[in-house]
Structure 1
Amino acid sequence: MQNRSVGVTQDRRTAFVAIDTCGGGNNFMAIVSGVYEDDGTLLIIAADTTPVTSDRQLEDEIHSHAAGLRAMLGAYTEMVSVIEANYGGWVQASRVARLLDDHKPTAHLTVDRETSATVERRIGVFTTAEVKERMRHELQRLLREDKVAFASVARFSRDGDRAELLNQLRRCEYIYKPTIDSATKARRRVISGKMNGKNDDMAVAMMMLAYWPVHYYNTRERGVVRR
């Protein structure tokens, strides 16, 4: 990854906010936001990570990140959330989206495609083992093509968050989980950076940011919730 000596102008119309919600215990919540340049470069503009120990802290972290983005991007850029729903499900993802909605204009990705006229599409995405592999592949492609960069005005809420993001990306590797898959009777092989008590929340958010925006552009109406 490189530093790109350009600022983030206020005439952009779309920014993506990837959120890996906290899974409790020693896990951290992470938020990584970016915009896509015309040449396909993913420009990282903000990142936060912290253990979340209360509802108030979760709210404060999301509001702080969103307010910083709004000040950076101006009043008209739509912030499109990519919220992991693995932990807390649709309810938690919808709650996080409501907090972001205080900083409109906003939109939220959903994996729901078809619902009845009386049922709203649920907000959030799931990072299954298969999806996580696709996310990894897409981020690796961007990195190989030298199309990931930090904006010169990138905002990090804490000293060391930038270095932590890079370190987490370096730590991610394939591991075998101790649990046995009920269908294959084999140990599950997954991508993780949580070895030796480390966290990989920012790396997961980064992979989400590399993968899910494609679905926004390809299925803009069917794959987005606006409230």
Structure 2
Amino acid sequence: MTQRLTARQQNVYAFIVKTINDHGYPPTRAEIAQALGFRSPNAAEEHLRALERKGAIRIVRNTSRGIRLPLKASRDDAQTPHNPVQGLPIIGEVAAGSPMLAAEHIDRYCPLPPEYFTPRADYLLRVHGVSMKDAGILEGDLLAVHRTEHVRDGQIIVARLDDDVTVKRFSRQGNRVQLLAENSDFAPIDIDLRTQTLDIEGVGVGVIRGGNGQALG
């Protein structure tokens, strides 16, 4: 990749990568348009041409699934247990008290370069539930997470509270922290840092629409 992608281009590229990972072949223009809410396949085609100009993909003309990933590892040697796909690990269920990136938590790898997110992503977290739906983080999405303990008010974070890992918006006043849902059906989680432990696992830096399987949120 020679040029940075826009946020929309990142979404298109991520959907292409996910489709190839899940099904073994790239999506059609119509599938891209439907998945990402474009009005027509022509809008998807415009994004594909922009991705090609930036070197992210190669388009094979006159074929409905003619999208190729120049930087994608060979499928023949990328899926073996001792040589996983290089890229961002997709984290599934997290056992109580264990490190987020422990091997047993990694479902698979997504060959999406960490630098496609700013700041760079360290892993993708499967989202479960609808507590963050008004922030555009939906059931089944993959949240790109940058590992850090330093967060600011208003940021969407991944936090560990007791034995639970959750995705919420961060708010702090002195020793009082609130983890805020983006859904009026969910009450804030109130934390007193003098008596409770809150571990920050990272900050959300992007969303990939339509991951699948069991999730956290």
TM-score band by shorter chain is under 0.3
Q: Give TM-score, length-normalised by structure 2.
A: 0.27
Structure 1 or 2: larger helix share? 1
Q: Which structure has the larger Rg over C-alpha atoms?
A: 2
Q: Give TM-score, length-normalised by structure 1.
A: 0.26
